[in-house]
């Protein structure tokens, strides 16, 4: 069963210069119980996608077109405020840098209790019980509910934000860079905890991260964004094992831990595209080692590949096997 269906979503930000086309015709579907990854470098539009879904775009951001269906309901017919109300019950959101935005002058337990009171008509005693239970679920000592954010480490503060997001037992958990800024061991623990909870609650997960290694370990399907466009999408097995898009190949080489061989990471040279105005060429053309003249003429439409659940937006997708070989072994 489909839980979330995003179709041709386009989001722009108004600025003093030209509008920024941050998310440009993005489509993806998350089925019930699926862990879905949204990957891409900084500025590719990942957080904008999440904020557009949740009706949380900043004032200068607008959904220009596209549809967002959640659990069969069309959310684009609702105002941003109505959408927030509908979604709060069903979707847990752990925003980027959530652990740094806890209220410093309120105890962590009170912050979670407040979130519960806002959406549920429960007594103080019931809310307190639930807070203790949530502390236990995320692996925090329930005797520390009266502690303030500064009394916890970064990893523990992130656990508090996860507890807050889970208070209402969501169908979908959206976690935006939940492990960025934490050390590697703590990162693993947080990811394990999110997965454990997600399985226990039988919810779906939308995991947003620039680290595709994390997605390889935790997700079933993914979309790879670049310059507001989906470059490649499908099952993790198809996309990350046999990438057909030079951007995915580059991104994969910059995170060697998911490769079998012990290679040094190689960052993709160049810088992200200018998002002012509609793309008149493939958004990755400037940085793509395989670009031809055709790539300068238009951004490619996504192509459905013959194997199941795999799409790629690349003018040279038919030559992907040769490109992959060259990307894996630049010496030849
Ligand atoms: P990161 O990995 O750094 O979190 P991201 O993939 O989440 O990046 P977004 O935050 O969605 O990227 O930003 C997408 C693009 O939109 C970027 O070019 C960014 O500079 C631009 N942008 C984001 N918010 C605004 C805003 N309020 N006004 C103008 N431009 C914005
Ligand atoms: Mg972001």
pLDDT digits (tens, 9 = 90+) for 78-113: 887 787 777 777 898 998 888 888 999 999 999 999
For the chain, give every domain's residue range: 2-243
Q: Which of 17-21, 244-248, 251-255 has the lowest mean pLDDT?
A: 251-255
Q: Above 60 in pLDDT, residue 259? A: no
With a Cβ cut-off of 6 Å, ligand 1 is lined by: 13, 15, 20, 22, 40, 42-48, 58, 60-61, 96, 210, 275
Identify the pLDDT of residue 321.
Answer: 92
Q: Which residues contact 17 (CB under 8 A, 6 or more apart)?
A: 276
Higher pLDDT, 245 or 55: 245
Identify the pLDDT of residue 255.
Answer: 77
Residue 290: how many other CB atoms lie within 10 Å: 19
**What distance in Å separates the CA atoms of residue 128 and residue 119, rounded to the nearest whole number?**
15
**What distance in Å separates the CA atoms of residue 11 and residue 14, rounded to the nearest whole number?**
10
Q: Which helix (H) or strand (E) holds 176?
A: strand 172-176
The sheet carrying 172-176 orders its strands as 91-94, 172-176, 204-209, 35-39, 221-226, 229-235, 310-312, 303-304
Could you tell me if 256 and 264 are in contact, meaning their C-beta atoms sit under 8 angstroms apart?
A: yes
Burial tier of 81 (Cβ tally within 10 Å: 0-12, 13-18, 19+): exposed
Query: What number is the ipTM of this complex?
Result: 0.99
Ligand 1, closest atom to CA 210?
2
Q: Above 70 in pLDDT, residue 291? A: yes
**Closest Cα to atom 27, ligand 1: which residue?**
58
Distances (CA, A) of 153 to 113, 142, 294: 21, 16, 51
The ligand with the least distance to the CA atom of 176 is 2
What is the arithmetic mean of pLDDT over 55-74? 93
Calculate the average pLDDT of the chain: 91
Could you tell me if 172 and 30 are in contact, meaning their C-beta atoms sit under 8 angstroms apart?
A: yes
CA of 180 to the centre of ligand 2 (A): 10
Could you tell me if 129 and 137 are in contact, meaning their C-beta atoms sit under 8 angstroms apart?
A: no
pLDDT digits (tens, 9 = 90+) for 188-198: 888 998 898 88
Q: Above 60 in pLDDT, residue 260? A: no
What is the arithmetic mean of pLDDT over 220-232? 98
DSSP 276: B
The ligand with the least distance to the CA atom of 271 is 1
**What distance in Å separates the CA atoms of residue 116 and residue 138, rounded to the nearest whole number?**
16
Could you tell me if 205 and 273 are in contact, meaning their C-beta atoms sit under 8 angstroms apart?
A: no
Q: Which of 251, 162, 246 is nearest to 205 (CA)?
A: 162
**Closest Cα to atom 4, ligand 1: which residue?**
42
Percent of the chain with pLDDT over 70: 97
Class of the CATH domain delimited by 2-243: alpha beta
Could you tell me if 285 and 295 are in contact, meaning their C-beta atoms sit under 8 angstroms apart?
A: yes
Identify the pLDDT of residue 331.
Answer: 64
Identify the pLDDT of residue 6.
Answer: 98
What is the arithmetic mean of pLDDT over 212-220? 92
**Closest Cα to atom 31, ligand 1: which residue?**
13
CA of 20 to the centre of ligand 1 (A): 9
Q: Above 70 in pLDDT, residue 275? A: yes
Percent of the chain with pLDDT over 90: 67
Q: Which helix (H) or strand (E) holds 82?
A: helix 80-90
Q: Which residues contact 52 (CB under 8 A, 6 or more apart)?
A: 9, 11, 23, 61, 63, 68
CA of 299 to the centre of ligand 1 (A): 20
Q: Which of 274, 226, 229, 264 is nearest to 247 (CA)?
A: 226
pLDDT digits (tens, 9 = 90+) for 305-328: 987 899 999 999 999 999 999 988
pLDDT digits (tens, 9 = 90+) for 33-45: 999 999 999 999 9
């Amino acid at each position: 069963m489909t839980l979330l269906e995003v179709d041709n979503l386009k989001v722009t930000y108004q600025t003093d210069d030209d509008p920024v086309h941050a998310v440009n015709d993005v489509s993806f579907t998350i089925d019930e119980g699926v862990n879905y990854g949204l990957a891409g470098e900084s500025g590719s539009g990942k957080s904008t996608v999440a904020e557009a879904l949740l009706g949380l775009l900043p004032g200068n951001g607008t959904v220009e077109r596209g549809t967002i269906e959640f659990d069969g309901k069309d959310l684009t017919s609702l105002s941003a405020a109505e959408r927030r109300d509908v979604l709060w019950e069903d979707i847990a959101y752990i925003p980027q840098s959530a652990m740094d935005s806890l209220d410093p002058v309120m105890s962590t337990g009170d912050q979670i209790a407040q979130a519960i009171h806002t959406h549920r008509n429960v007594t103080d005693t019931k809310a307190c019980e639930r807070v203790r239970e949530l502390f236990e679920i995320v692996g925090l000592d329930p005797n520390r509910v009266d502690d303030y954010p500064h009394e916890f480490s970064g990893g523990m503060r992130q656990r508090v934000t996860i507890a807050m997001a889970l208070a209402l037992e969501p169908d979908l958990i959206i976690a935006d860079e939940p492990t960025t800024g934490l050390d590697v061991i703590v990162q693993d623990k947080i990811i394990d905890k999110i997965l454990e909870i997600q399985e226990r609650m039988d919810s779906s997960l939308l995991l947003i991260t620039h680290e595709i290694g994390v997605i390889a370990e935790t997700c079933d399907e993914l979309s790879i964004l670049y310059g507001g466009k989906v470059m490649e999408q499908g099952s993790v097995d198809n996309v990350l094992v046999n990438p057909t898009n030079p951007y995915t190949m580059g991104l994969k080489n910059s995170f060697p831990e998911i490769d079998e061989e012990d290679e040094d990471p190689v960052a993709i040279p160049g810088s992200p595209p200018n998002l002012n105005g509609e793309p008149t060429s493939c958004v990755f053309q400037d940085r793509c080692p395989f670009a031809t003249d055709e790539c300068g003429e238009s951004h490619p439409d996504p192509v459905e590949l013959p194997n199941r659940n795999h799409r790629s937006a690349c003018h040279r997708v038919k030559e992907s096997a040769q490109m992959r070989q060259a990307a894996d072994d630049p010496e030849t």
